[in-house]
Amino acid sequence: MSEPVNVFGQTSKHLKTGNLTFLSTQVAAWQKLSKLIQPLLPQPEQWQVVCYQNGILTITGENQAMISQLGYLQKQYIQQLSQITGLENLQKIQVRLRNKTQTPVKNENCSRQLQAETQDLLRDAACFVNDPKLSQAMLRLASKKK
């Protein structure tokens, strides 16, 4: 069996330009590889290649069930993926759970002005509260404007 070739290995030209060029090239290659392997892996999932080195392909997914399925059927997937140019020496697939990317939800209630009746109730309640900090906070809330 031949020695595995590190497709993403650092060359002498990268030593002169620094690691940023090398890393950018590597990330671009992994993104391209992610698009190639996506249709061959369990669906629905957005698989991302994070490393391919020494015959070991490391990918991430967000769905634990899909990750488990890929782990159990690894041999079959290795056979399919090794048909892709650059993955001929694929020996193992490592799968890791990736945190789900969440977009911040804008809370519309925070940006609205309180109704006049609510503001009056807060001001009245602030008068009866013994804690000065809480009373001030209620008064600030009552006076908030859009």
Per residue, the 3-state secondary structure of 36-64, as one string, reads HHHHHCCCCCCCEEEEEECCEEEEEECCH
Q: What is the span of the domain harbouring residue 120? A: 108-143
Lowest mean pLDDT among 28-37, 44-53, 72-81, 96-105: 96-105
Is the pTM higher than 0.85?
no
- 83 and 112 housed in the same domain: no
- 41 and 86 housed in the same domain: yes
- 89 and 134 housed in the same domain: no
Percentage of the residues of the chain whose pLDDT score is greater than 90: 1
pLDDT tens-digit map of 12-64: 554 555 677 777 888 888 888 888 888 888 888 888 888 888 888 898 888 88
Q: What is the pLDDT of residue 109?
A: 53
- 119 and 49 housed in the same domain: no
Residue 80: which region, alpha, beta or left (left: phi > 0; alpha: psi -120 to 50)? alpha
